[in-house]
């Protein structure tokens, strides 16, 4: 089982390699891939050292699966070339997510749709993944009509440059800016660029991806916000169902939902926080309460490690499913 990691030196690529090792994915040879300037760098994995190679070299080495996290333009150019060589690509960029010919997969929800002919598989946006993992079991029971979500997203979602900006600002050092404004002691209500309807691309990703993964009939509206947190995305979610619910039943469903940890004990001040989600693969859910202004409506708080379940772990879980079903 040869595994290529494209974008191996980036934040998500590094996390993918860590997750492959932690989850004991059956890697016989790791093929780390990055830009030309990183070729020759060494990556350690399970006690062995592997040299970073170029895209074409990776294709020539014929991996069984390639985990991509190198940006949309790279994926658009290179994923089809890997696929043409018979390599299954699991892509973490936004390049293929809304392509009607490609599956958009969260394993807890729709892995069963995958077949051996799916050579480019899309990994959803980090903020979408954690929300649908928590909401899908409730949708099965109560039929979600509408979702209103506001996100509180960490700087690691932007990348190394944003982490450096936050750290520089904490130390009073002037440096390169990943954002148009300071992020330390600030909140920026913009993630990605604005579109013609006044929403950002990140907000529209949440809208469109949720519909594609769960149900095209669900109405979704989103506000996505960057906050000065090092890792972990949080979401305030208001969910309207077609049928009424009992809070205890909701708690029971979430306690038994795959990939979910219920943290909901306000009497003892127990609720999900980004610091608790750090290095966890599960989605943490809490602050469950009725919306008292509207029938059949629930408020909830959802937190996850955006580099793990929001990116690296979800991709590795897709690969695990493919291996388990002998699809690669």
Q: Residue 13's pLDDT is what? A: 96
Are 235 and 149 in contact by the 8 Å Cβ rule? The answer is yes
- 65-111 pLDDT tens trace: 999 999 999 999 999 999 999 999 999 999 999 999 999 999 999 99
Choosing from 126, 149, 222, 322, the catalytic residue is: 126
Question: Known catalytic residue: 278?
Answer: no
**DSSP secondary structure, 172-206, as one string:** T-----SSSS--TT--B---S-B-TTS-BHHHHHH
Q: How far is Cα 32 from Cα 50, in angstroms, rounded to an integer?
A: 7
**Quick one: pLDDT at residue 33?**
98
| HEC letters along 218-239 | CEEEEEEEECCCCCCEEEEEEE
Structure tokens at 22: 């932690």
pLDDT tens by residue, 285-310: 999 999 999 999 999 999 999 999 99
Q: Is the CB of residue 286 less than 8 Å from the CB of residue 301?
A: yes
Q: What pLDDT does residue 250 have?
A: 98
pLDDT less than 70: residues of the chain? none
**Selected catalytic residue, list 226, 233, 308, 309:** 233
**pLDDT score for 221:** 98
Q: Is 17 a catalytic residue?
A: no
pLDDT on residue 284: 98
So what's the pLDDT on residue 252? 98
Pick from 120, 27, 95: nearest CA to 318: 120
Q: Domains (ranges, CATH) in the chain?
A: 2-124+311-324 (3.40.50.720), 127-306 (3.30.360.10)
pLDDT at 197: 98
**Greatest alpha-carbon span in the chain:** 60
pTM of the model: 0.96
> What pLDDT sits at residue 110?
98
Q: Residue for token digits 């708690």? A: 251
């Amino acid at each position: 089982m040869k595994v290529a990691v494209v974008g191996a030196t980036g934040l998500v690529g590094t996390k993918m390699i860590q997750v492959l090792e932690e989850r004991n994915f059956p890697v016989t040879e790791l093929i780390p891939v990055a830009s030309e300037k990183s070729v020759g760098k060494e990556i350690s994995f399970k006690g062995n050292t592997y040299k970073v190679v170029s895209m074409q070299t990776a294709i020539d080495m014929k991996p069984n699966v390639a985990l991509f996290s190198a940006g949309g333009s790279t994926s658009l150019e290179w994923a089809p070339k890997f696929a043409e060589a018979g390599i299954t690509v699991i892509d973490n960029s936004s390049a293929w997510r809304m392509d009607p010919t490609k599956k958009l997969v969260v394993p807890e929800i729709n892995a069963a749709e995958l077949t051996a002919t799916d050579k480019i598989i899309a990994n959803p946006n980090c903020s979408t993944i954690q929300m649908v993992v928590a909401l899908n079991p409730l949708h099965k029971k109560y039929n979600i009509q509408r979702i209103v979500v506001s996100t509180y997203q960490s700087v690691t979602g932007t990348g190394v440059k944003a982490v450096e900006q936050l750290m520089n600002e904490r130390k009073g050092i002037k440096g390169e800016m990943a954002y148009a404004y300071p992020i330390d002691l600030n909140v920026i209500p913009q993630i990605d660029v604005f579109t013609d309807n006044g929403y950002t691309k990140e907000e529209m990703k949440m809208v469109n991806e949720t519909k594609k993964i769960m149900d095209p009939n669900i109405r979704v509206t989103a506000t996505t916000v960057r906050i000065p947190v090092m890792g972990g995305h949080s979401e305030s979610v208001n969910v309207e169902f077609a049928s009424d619910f009992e809070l205890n039943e909701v708690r029971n469903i979430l306690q038994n939902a795959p990939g979910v940890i219920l943290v909901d004990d306000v009497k003892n001040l127990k609720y999900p926080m980004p610091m608790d989600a750090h290095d966890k693969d599960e989605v943490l859910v809490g602050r469950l309460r009725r919306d008292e202004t509207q029938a059949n409506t629930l408020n909830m708080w959802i937190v996850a490690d955006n580099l793990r379940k929001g990116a690296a772990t979800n991709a590795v879980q897709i690969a695990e499913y493919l291996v388990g079903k002998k699809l690669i």
